Amino acid sequence: MTGQTAPAAPPVGVSVDVPAKINPHLGVGDARADGYHALSTVYQAISLHDTVTAEPREEPGIEITISGEGAGELPTDEGNLAHKAAKLVALYAGIKPAVKLHLNKRIPVAGGLAGGSADAAGALVACARLWEVAIGDAELHRLAAGLGSDVPFCLKGGTAIGTGRGEELTPVQAKGSWNWVVATTDTQISTPECYKEVDRLREDGIGRYSSDVGPIVTAFEQGADADALARLLVNDMEAAAVSLRPQLASLMHGGLEEGALAAHVSGSGPTVLFLATDVKHAVALARRIRMRGGARSVHLAHGPVAGPAA
């Protein structure tokens, strides 16, 4: 079958919604010999989605268009993880890729919410369905891990412990739902940039590896209320993100003054998450943060939610 063109597909496309991820716990170890950092993290998928649509293309090739967040800025060639994902599915199936991918992006770009990884996960699932390629869970996870540390989780969603580079997942049976206000900023922080700052701060004696995920995992499994969860949020990259973008401190302080239970940098930042008591509190908190200024956009979200391959 190798070298053949992708099988004919119906004219209708395949669309999948892929959630953003947050890290209620993000422990970052020291840099390893391979340049990566060991992670002890807890992922949770939230209801802020990108939509990936795959449609058949008459000629072989991968064509990407983007609307929403990052349109006109993000690459539409091999530099986009979704392109690499489509190519991987075709390689796995032994066919030539022939697909139009449209990314309708709502997840902020370079915001610590794994938007690029979400698009890659969506492209894996959408292309497999479009081309009717049967891929088992284990193989899909392997393909996802080859694309990036966050991609396997974006496939499944929910809540999970991540170890290794973050790609080794253990599902967590979370009982309940938690409400967040997601505040984006006008700046961006690349993940490698933030890791370098973590290393620099560690050399100065600032920060340590928060490896124990036990307390927050127990809280999720027991359906802890938001007040209890607020005391358990950890992000070893937060100090580095604030060091790189000092304006984040003002945004976080402002959200706390407006009544947030906790202010938490999302992943490598610079998006800031504010934990709310419930939906009503989240709506009021989002309104006050918008009125206060300092955020580019403010979104409501809840989690956990399922991924496209759950």
CA distance 40 to 210: 8
207 is in an annotated binding site: no
99 is in an annotated binding site: no
226 is in an annotated binding site: no
164 is in an annotated binding site: no
262 is in an annotated binding site: no
**Count, residues in the chain:** 310
CA distance 97 to 294: 44
Long-range contacts from 203-208, C-beta under 8 angstroms, 24+ separation:
206/239, 207/236, 207/239, 207/240, 208/236
118 is in an annotated binding site: yes
122 is in an annotated binding site: no
117 is in an annotated binding site: yes
145 is in an annotated binding site: no
156 assigned to active site: no
Q: Comparing C-alpha atoms, which of 264, 212, 259 is closest to residue 241? A: 264
21 assigned to active site: yes
110 is in an annotated binding site: yes
What pairs with residue 53 in β-bridges?
15, 102
The residue annotated as part of the active site, out of 21, 84, 105, 156, is: 21
What pairs with residue 26 in β-bridges?
41, 235
149 is in an annotated binding site: no
CA distance 155 to 15: 14
The residue annotated as part of the active site, out of 17, 50, 119, 150, is: 150
Active site residues: 21, 150
Pick out the residues of the known binding site for ATP. 108-118
Pick out the residues of the known binding site. 108-118
